Structure 1
Amino acid sequence: MIQRLQSVWLLLAAAAAFCSLRFSFYSGNMIAENQTKAFASLTAQSNLLLLILTAGVGITSLIAIFLYKNRKLQMRLVLVALLVSIINLVLFFLETKKFVPNEGKFDLTAIFAIFIPILLFFAIRGIRRDEKLVKSLDRLR
């Protein structure tokens, strides 16, 4: 049953993760090595760790969609993806400290990175709801 609501949440979380690879989270002036200011945009591709974590969250979300028969494994994968996405969001905010204060701004497309944990939380809720439904049906047999 791939047409469950948590599949939609997982697909949206994967799409948001892959969009945050391309679209900027923060933009502004950054101090270069020779003490000159240069305009830069912070994306997930700007830092290797951000790139790996963001791509991992997107791929894990896509894989979890097709694990609908094994809800326990699906729940574990989505929980790991949720934790990694929260760490990823913290790393995004820490990377903004490298910009010159008061000369940068959060971009509108930062909403992609912010929505990933929210969408994964909704997916966990849907998986848990399905698990309760299956357990209640097993009791009726």
Structure 2
Amino acid sequence: MIQRIQSVWLLLAAAATFLSLKFSFYTGNIIKDGQPKAISSVVGTSGILLTISVVATGLLALVAIFLYKDRKFQMRLSLLGLFLSCLSLVLFYLQVKKFVPGEGNYDLTAIVAIVAPILFILALRGMYRDQKLVKSLDRLR
């Protein structure tokens, strides 16, 4: 059913990943040609690989919501979404390395990107509980 708790977690994970496309992760002075340049910020669209990773994570979360009839495939997609959201965090961090050290700050909205893997974990936990419940009911039959 769509009203299961993991559907809520997956919807929140999709919202968090899509919000990270607009909200900044880090703001500081960027290094260009060995010299510090103007203030810039890292968002989900800062690099092509980062953009692909963030969009794919959000789309996986949305697709997984509607696969409630096939729990095993839903769990696999959620695991892939968890992996991609962790990869996105690594890519965000690699983008931060392009800035002048000590002259920038992580933004409060970086929490949006950090929360996505946690929401995927909570969704996976809900799916595991459903799977366990179905197995226990099958034993009773």
Interval containing the TM-score (normalised by the shorter chain) = over 0.9
Q: CA deviation at 1:94?
A: 1.5
Give the superposed CA RMSD: 1.0
Distance 1:131 1:3 in 2: 16
| 1:122 lines up with 2:127 in the alignment | no
Moved over 6 A (4+): none
TM-score (norm 1): 0.97
What are the equivalent positions in structure 2 for 1:1-141 lying under 5 Å apart? 1-33=1-33, 35-141=35-141
- Contact 1:23-1:43 at 8 Å conserved across structures: yes
Distance 1:47 1:22 in 2: 13
Secondary structure in structure 2 of the residue aligned to 1:100: strand
1:92-124 Cα deviation digits (max 9, x unpaired): 112111000111000000001100000000000
Distance 2:34 2:138 in 1: 68
Distance 1:9 1:36 in 2: 41
Secondary structure in structure 1 of the residue aligned to 2:68: coil
Distance 2:36 2:90 in 1: 27
Bigger share in helix: 1
Q: CA deviation at 1:74?
A: 0.1
Percent identity of equivalent pairs: 62
